[in-house]
Amino acid sequence: MTVDLLEACRYLGVRGEPDDATLALVTSCAQEVQNAAQPRSTSREVPVREAAGKLFLGPIETRSADLIKLLAGCERALLFAATLGAGVDRLILRATAASAARAVALDAAASALIESFCDGCQAELAARYQQEELRLTPRFSPGYGDLPLSLQGAVLDLLGAPKAIGLTLTDGGMLAPVKSVTAVMGLTKNPAAVSCGCRCALCKKTDCKFRKTTNKGV
């Protein structure tokens, strides 16, 4: 698990190649974040059912048209959660008092690291289901497209995430630790339904400043 330095720079708002000073700052912060991180993840398989415009993921229900489209043809899905741990949050908080610029760079490096960790977890899960000739769809998180952020609580509860990996939800609806992810992944036998491209292609928020582009023009 490593920090993608260019990805971290993208989270900083850098477009194109970063200058030497920015890259040096991000490289230093990336090492600090990796040292502070205690990554953990958990997942759970649930049945998928669609009825009357609703999608049911086990006991969880949603009317998200985007998720319904992503999981079309899937009879099962994985609920997933991952976190870098509270140590990363403390690292960023301490830096805030000393240097705003360094705190922002630490935050960007942590954002890149949690994505890298999730990618690794997804690769391990994909290998696990390969023997069933099942493939994973891209991760789709609450807050993407029309999937409401409020769904996070139900996902955490069903995963038992507070006990399993120490991941909770604040009264304000924020994940704690902050550098954490919840997501849904479909299990499908249809290789055409699997995208290895940019996950931003699944999101309709085209004006997002963190939106990635690909060589396909997404």
Domains within the chain, CATH numbers bracketed: 5-202 (3.40.109.40)
Residue 64's pLDDT is 96
In Å, how far are 59, 85, 96, 160 from 88, measured between CA atoms?
33, 6, 13, 22
Residue 198's pLDDT is 46
Residue 1's pLDDT is 79
How far is it, in rounded angstroms, from Cα 96 to Cα 99? 6
For 49-53, 62-66, 174-178, which range has the lowest pLDDT when averaged over its residues? 49-53
- Residues 100, 106, 111, 114, CA torsion sign: negative
The one-letter amino acid at 206? T
Structure-model confidence comparison of residues 195 and 74, the more confident one? 74
53-99, pLDDT tens digit by residue?
A: 899 999 999 999 999 999 999 999 999 999 999 999 999 999 999 99
pTM for this structure?
0.87
22-41, pLDDT tens digit by residue?
A: 999 999 999 999 999 999 99
Sheet with strand 60-62: strands edge to edge = 60-62, 54-57, 40-51, 76-83, 180-188, 135-136
Read off the tokens for 132: 């069933």
8-state DSSP, 207: T
Partner residues linked to 175 by β-bridges = 169
